[in-house]
């Protein structure tokens, strides 16, 4: 499946995804260009308000990817460096969350200069994806939840220990009861989107247990740990608006 993706990296807070075309010409339904921008962040999982820190370790949009085989599945990812949990000495439960508001803009031109209203965005085309690292003992569970607040749909996945991703971030597919049922937003063209991200880790039974869910990290010259950020990918596609 991955080989059908075009992956596009973005700069700063504005993520553009330029689709790549193939020769067999499946029907594609998409505007010439589009962008997302973080307009509001709330919660302990995103205390930086998305303000750039010069190290790319703030809450930010990271990349987009899409299928090019006519299935029209689009994903865009948001990285949350502070969205991480670790069990304390006594075990129990630890959790964190963030509510994110994005401004979505459609463009009539590839360069992204002229705004358009020719397409209607549809959220939740194919569930959601978390990109994370984790290391949890037996008896420990880690749960990712991602809610499309405008669509009232929640996707989730629970990882049961023992489980370890290794240092390299791992894709965790989140599915909900209505995965793959897209939800139309009301407007054609630009709109606001709202998402809630939650991460919870829970230990059952006696004794001290290891449990951490975080993201790829390194230590800087000042000895401070810099987290790349747990990434959450939301999915979407478009419908052409009738004129």
Least Å distance between CB 67 and ligand NAG?
5
| Nearer Cβ to ligand NAG (70/205) | 70
- The minimum distance between CB 161 and ligand NAG, in angstroms, equals 21
Residues between 213 and 242 with contacts to ligand NAG, criterion CB under 6 A: none
What are the Cα distances from residue 234, in Å, to 212, 240, 241?
A: 23, 20, 22
Q: How far is the CB of 117 from ligand NAG (least distance, A)?
A: 27
Check residue 1 for interaction with ligand NAG (CB under 6 A). Answer: yes
Please, which residue, 67 or 165, has the CB nearer to ligand NAG? 67
Decide if 65 contacts 9 (C-beta within 8 A): no
Residue 172 vs 199, nearer CB to ligand NAG: 172
CB of 67 or CB of 143, closer to ligand NAG:
67
Q: Pick between residue 3 and residue 25 the one whose CB is nearest to ligand NAG.
A: 3
**CB nearer to ligand NAG: pick between 1 and 11:** 1
Q: Could you write out the DSSP letters of every residue in the chain? A: -GGGEEEEE-BTTBEE-PPP--TT-------SEEEEEEEEEESTT-TTTT---SSS-SSEEEEEEEE-SSS--EEEEEEETT--EE-BTTB-EEEEEEEEEEEEEEESSTTS-SB--SEEEEE-SS-EEEEEEEEE-TTEEEEEEEEETTTTEEEEEEEESSEE--SS-EEEEEB-TTTT--EE-SSSS-EEEEEEEEEEEEE-SSS---EEEE--EEE-TTS-EEE--EEEEEEEEEEEPP-
Site membership for ligand NAG, residue 168 (CB under 6 A): no
Beta carbon of residue 200, minimum distance to ligand NAG (angstroms, whole number): 20
Q: Counting contacts by CB under 6 A, is residue 27 touching ligand NAG?
A: no
Residue 185 CB, nearest distance to ligand NAG (Å)? 20
Interface with ligand NAG in residues 62-121 (CB under 6 A): 67, 73
Which of the 8 DSSP states describes residue 88?
B
Candidates 47, 149, 170, 173; binder of ligand NAG (CB under 6 A) is: 173
Determine which residue in the list 31, 35, 116, 127 makes contact with ligand NAG, applying CB under 6 A: 127
- 175 belongs to the binding site for ligand NAG (CB under 6 A): yes
Terminal C-alpha separation, the chain: 35
Bridge partner list, 87? none
Q: Which of 53, 171 has the CB closer to ligand NAG? A: 171
Report in angstroms how near the CB of residue 173 gets to ligand NAG at its nearest: 4
Residues making contact with ligand NAG (CB under 6 A): 1, 67, 73, 126-127, 173, 175
């Amino acid at each position: 499946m991955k080989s059908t993706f075009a992956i596009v990296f973005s700069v700063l807070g504005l993520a553009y995804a330029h689709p790549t075309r193939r020769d067999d010409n499946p029907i594609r339904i998409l505007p010439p260009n589009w962008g997302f921008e973080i307009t509001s962040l709330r919660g302990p999982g995103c205390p930086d308000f998305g303000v750039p820190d010069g190290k790319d370790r703030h809450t930010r949009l990271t990349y987009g990817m899409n299928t090019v085989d006519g299935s029209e599945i689009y994903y865009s990812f948001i990285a949350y460096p502070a969205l991480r949990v670790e069990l304390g000495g006594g075990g129990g439960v630890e959790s964190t969350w963030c509510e994110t508001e994005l401004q979505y803009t459609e463009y009539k031109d590839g360069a992204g200069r002229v705004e358009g209203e020719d397409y209607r965005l549809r959220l939740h085309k194919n569930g959601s994806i978390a990109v994370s690292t984790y290391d949890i003992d037996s008896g420990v569970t880690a749960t990712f939840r991602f809610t499309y607040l405008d669509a009232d749909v929640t996707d989730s996945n629970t990882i049961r220990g023992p489980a370890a991703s290794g240092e390299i971030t791992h894709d965790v597919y989140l599915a909900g009861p209505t995965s793959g049922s897209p939800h139309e937003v009301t407007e054609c063209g630009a709109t606001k989107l709202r998402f809630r991200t939650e991460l919870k880790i829970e230990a059952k039974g006696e004794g001290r247990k290891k449990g951490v869910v975080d993201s790829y990290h390194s230590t800087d010259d000042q000895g401070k740990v810099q987290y790349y950020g747990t990434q959450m990918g939301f999915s979407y596609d478009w419908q052409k608006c009738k004129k």
